[in-house]
Amino acid sequence: MMKVVMVMALGILCVGAKNHNEEAHRALCDLLQAAVGKWGSSGEGLSEPMKAALGITIFGNEKGGVLGELESLPGVYKNVEGTQDSRGNWCGQPQEDGHNGINQGRSSGHSAPHGLLCLCTVGEKGWPVNESETVEERLCGHTKQTLGASDNEGWVGSKSVQGEKHVSETWKEVVIPCLKGERGKELKPALHSFLGKLENKSGDWYSSRYQLGEGEPSNERSCTGTQKHGVCVMYYNFTGGSYPMPWWTELENAIQEDEKLQKQREEEERRKHKEEANKKEDPRAEASKSGHPTTNQTDQQNTGTNFTNTLRKFNLTSGTPISMPSSWLLSVAILI
């Protein structure tokens, strides 16, 4: 009876445990792995649009960079947890370029690694892995211990919490494994899966606003790391205005461009193969183009040459014409 009760209790704990942002994390991680796999060591052999798009996806800029530089947390995140309102500004707002005094080392659409930090770093007082006292909650597959949240603190952006401890733990436990690229992993299906996880959260202030992860935004605030606004990343996919497009829109465009180039290359290959096949089927066409004389033409040329040589034999030294008997001329005519 005791064993039955223990098994039932464990079952309740397992069922009750929630993995926050599980599917969103998996989709973004899979896409980043596919992007790194296609990038290789330095984007070698890629078309210019694809190289630029992968540079933005992985590094946050068109020129790209060296993957080894991402093995540790970038310096821009130094003391990000002690920067006022940094989580909402870096994860929930478009690029403001200092507007209204907003300090943005990163905007929400900067890159895929930055998106993972927004999605998987614990928030206010360790939210959401501090949600239950009895059930082990997880965020992006990790417990609060592995995410450095045993102190029941997290990234919100407050002068009361200094440093970058929780962001650094998320980079190590979540981002770096997703930077281990998988060669041959298809980029297009991974992007399609990622886009399927975005929720349209457009409001009165912003149109074409898409959220990845848990949380309910207001017109002016989103993804702040609080219980209300959540741990998430908000993308602003405007078709106009001064805001830059998020990284994944550049990737989507580059994939379409690559497909066009690939189609053109395939058509060119088919044309070449067809031309080569036609040449093999009709070798006489090639011979007629070469300009060599036919057999009849060659025979006529040879006959004319022999006749001239015969005439020369009768005029060895003198320039005086030699008269020949009509019988001889008749013989020559017969020969011709």
pTM over 0.85: no
Residue 331: what pLDDT?
A: 41
Evaluate whether 153 touches 225 at the Cβ level (below 8 Å).
no
Q: How far from 44 is each of 41, 151, 170, 241, 247, CA to CA, in Å?
A: 7, 45, 30, 34, 20
Residue 321: what pLDDT?
A: 44
Picking from 214, 190, 189, the residue whose alpha carbon sits closest to that of residue 201 is 214
Evaluate whether 204 touches 175 at the Cβ level (below 8 Å).
no
pLDDT in tens, the chain (336 residues): 444 444 444 444 445 689 999 999 999 999 999 999 999 999 999 999 999 999 999 999 999 999 999 999 999 999 999 999 999 999 999 887 655 556 688 999 999 999 999 999 999 999 999 877 777 899 999 999 999 999 999 999 998 888 999 999 999 999 999 999 777 789 999 999 999 999 999 988 888 899 999 999 998 899 999 999 999 999 998 755 566 889 999 999 999 999 998 888 887 777 877 777 777 776 655 555 555 554 455 454 554 545 445 434 444 344 444 344 444 333 433 344
Which residues share a beta bridge with 212?
A: 233
